[in-house]
Amino acid sequence: MRVIISRCLLGASCRYDGGSKPCEAVRSLASRVEVTSVCPETASGLPVPRPPAERRGGRVVLADGTDVTQAFESGAVISLGRAVGSAATLAVLKAKSPSCGRGLVYDGSFTGTLVEGDGILAARLEEEGIHVVTEDVVQSCRASVEHPVAIVLGSGLAGLLDAVKPVRRIDYRDIEGFPEDARPIEGHSFKAVVGSIDGTPVVVYPGRVHLYQGYSAAEVTALVRHAKHLGCRDIVFACATGAIPPNATTGLGLITDHINLTGTNPLVEPDDLRSVESPFVGMGDAYTPYLLELARGVAADEGIEVGEGVYAGMLGPSYETPAEIRALGMLGVSYVGMSTVNEVIMAHALGMNVLGVTLATNLAGDSSVDHESVLVAGQAHADEFGRLVRGVLRLLG
């Protein structure tokens, strides 16, 4: 996988003050990918050290008011050429910088005040379709013993358990809010495994309960709250789905967004309102773009064919009618299933980073589909699924 990274985050002394801003999480990522390093300011010929500059409106100025926009634009063009030539789709740039800031930049008053906006290079990279994050995002997604990665497995996908080096196991009956009377359906297990996969700390939940079994949204999302309680900041939701033609085909897919058609939401549950700061949660980027880019990069490196698209969560347990499938296709849905959406809502409300991976075991509407065929399809794709998830874990470790 190729990633564009600001040189100062890697330890190069190229900042305006002659120093650097090394970030251990970024350095760790850099050790596992192919790096194209950039510094648009030095690329433009600006000296080191140099006077500090900030964005003021659409310009870049020094503290004395001198306009240096042209120099910054020149450096951005040079760095953009390097970035595009690398074929990378992800960039990790220095936060708040007039060149590299993403989302927030210093406002030109030289008082430390931040305003919404992007640095010149960051904006140009986004225009080219390269996803830009700051070192803060990489740090927030980095796994550790204190912050293991949670993985919730779906039907037919429990084979990943074989890759876990276990430290301890947790019976679901000991998880607060999980229904004590629940019994796992075939292909699921109700013992969480705490341990590591290839050295990355994880908590794996090899089964879940569903709304169609008569459980509430609060009970369905108990595992998410448990993962958050254990310190997990990243959570991977894996699920089996049907593919909606022509938007998707069978096989592995990445979930980019969802439509909740289950008729419920975990944030309406009174008990859950105590779990989040507010039930009025914006759902933009509920599926963390940074994790999506890592998954895309791993898939490309591993030669794993993956689709991607919108997931529609249905109540179930019956499969969809032909009319429902046509309607979902018109709504832009690629995958349809009976889980995940409420779990993602809860995880996003709790501030967790989310990656959704699905195995489309059949084309929606296939009258021959049953739970057994879903399990068989899961076994057929177990190796690809395992390599994809383990690849992402390595980049988070």
**How many Cβ atoms are within 10 Å of 382's Cβ, its own excluded?**
17
Q: What is the DSSP letter of 67?
A: B
Q: Identify the pLDDT of residue 278.
A: 84
CA end-to-end span of the chain: 15
**Residues 375, 226 within the same domain:** yes
All residues at 6 or more sequence positions from 155 whose CB lies less than 8 Å from its CB, including other chains:
185, 186, 187, 188, 239, 240, 371, 374, 375, 378
**Residues 92, 107 within the same domain:** yes
CA distance 105 to 307: 35
**Residues 236, 132 within the same domain:** no
* Beta bridge mates, 62: 53
| Total number of domains in the chain | 2
Here the tokens at position 161 are: 């358990």
pTM: 0.94
Q: Which of 286, 393, 268 is nearest to 340 (CA)?
A: 286
Question: Is residue 4 within a helix (H) or strand (E), and if so which, with residue range?
Answer: strand 2-6
Question: Is residue 60 within a helix (H) or strand (E), and if so which, with residue range?
Answer: strand 59-62
**Residues 65, 180 within the same domain:** no
What are the tens digits of pLDDT across the range 185-203?
766 789 999 999 999 999 9
CA distance 16 to 98: 11
**Residues 242, 385 within the same domain:** yes
CA distance 395 to 299: 13
Q: Which of 330, 328, 327, 382 is nearest to 357 (CA)?
A: 382
Q: Identify the pLDDT of residue 182.
A: 87
Q: Identify the pLDDT of residue 374.
A: 67
DSSP states of 305-355 as a string?
A: --EEEEEEEE--SS---HHHHHHHHHTTEEEEESSSHHHHHHHHHTT-EEE
Q: Identify the pLDDT of residue 357.
A: 97
**Residues 368, 297 within the same domain:** yes
Q: Where are the extended beta strands (E) located within 173-228?
A: 191-197, 200-205
CA distance 292 to 377: 23
User: Which amino acid is present at 347?
Assistant: A
3-state secondary structure of 360: strand
Contacts 24+ apart (CB under 8 A), 368-374: 369/242, 369/319, 371/155, 371/185, 371/186, 371/187, 372/186, 374/155, 374/156, 374/187, 374/240
Here the tokens at position 138 are: 């990489």
**Residues 121, 191 within the same domain:** no
Token pair 């995958």 is at which residue?
335
Q: Identify the pLDDT of residue 277.
A: 81
> Can you give the C-alpha Rg of the chain in angstroms?
23
3-state secondary structure of 228: helix
Q: Identify the pLDDT of residue 190.
A: 92
Q: Identify the pLDDT of residue 371.
A: 63
Q: Identify the pLDDT of residue 141.
A: 98
Where in the sequence is the domain holding 333, given as residue range(s)?
143-396
Q: Please report, for the domain that includes residue 171, its CATH number.
A: 3.40.50.1580
Here the tokens at position 355 are: 């990656």
Q: Is 393 left (phi over 0), alpha (psi -120 to 50) or beta?
A: alpha
Q: Where is the domain boundary, 124, 140, 156?
A: 140
**Residues 225, 310 within the same domain:** yes
3-state secondary structure of 206: coil
CA-CA distances (angstroms) from residue 153 to 257, 274, 358, 389? Answer: 19, 26, 10, 11
Q: Identify the pLDDT of residue 372.
A: 72
Per-residue pLDDT of the chain (397 residues; tens, 9 = 90+): 999 999 999 999 999 999 999 999 999 999 999 999 999 999 999 999 999 999 998 999 999 999 999 999 999 999 999 999 999 999 999 999 999 999 999 999 999 999 999 999 999 999 999 999 999 999 999 999 999 999 999 876 778 889 999 999 999 999 999 998 888 776 678 999 999 999 999 999 999 999 999 999 999 999 999 999 999 999 999 998 999 999 999 999 999 999 999 999 999 976 655 678 888 999 999 999 999 999 999 999 999 999 999 999 999 999 899 999 999 999 999 999 999 999 999 999 999 999 999 999 889 887 666 667 666 776 777 889 999 999 999 999 9
Q: Identify the pLDDT of residue 238.
A: 95
User: Which amino acid is present at 99?
Assistant: S
**Residues 130, 157 within the same domain:** no
**Residues 191, 337 within the same domain:** yes
Here the tokens at position 74 are: 């020149």
Q: Where is the domain boundary, 123, 140, 157?
A: 140
Q: Where is the domain boundary, 140, 162, 181?
A: 140
Strand 149-152 vs strand 131-134: parallel, antiparallel, or unpaired? Answer: unpaired
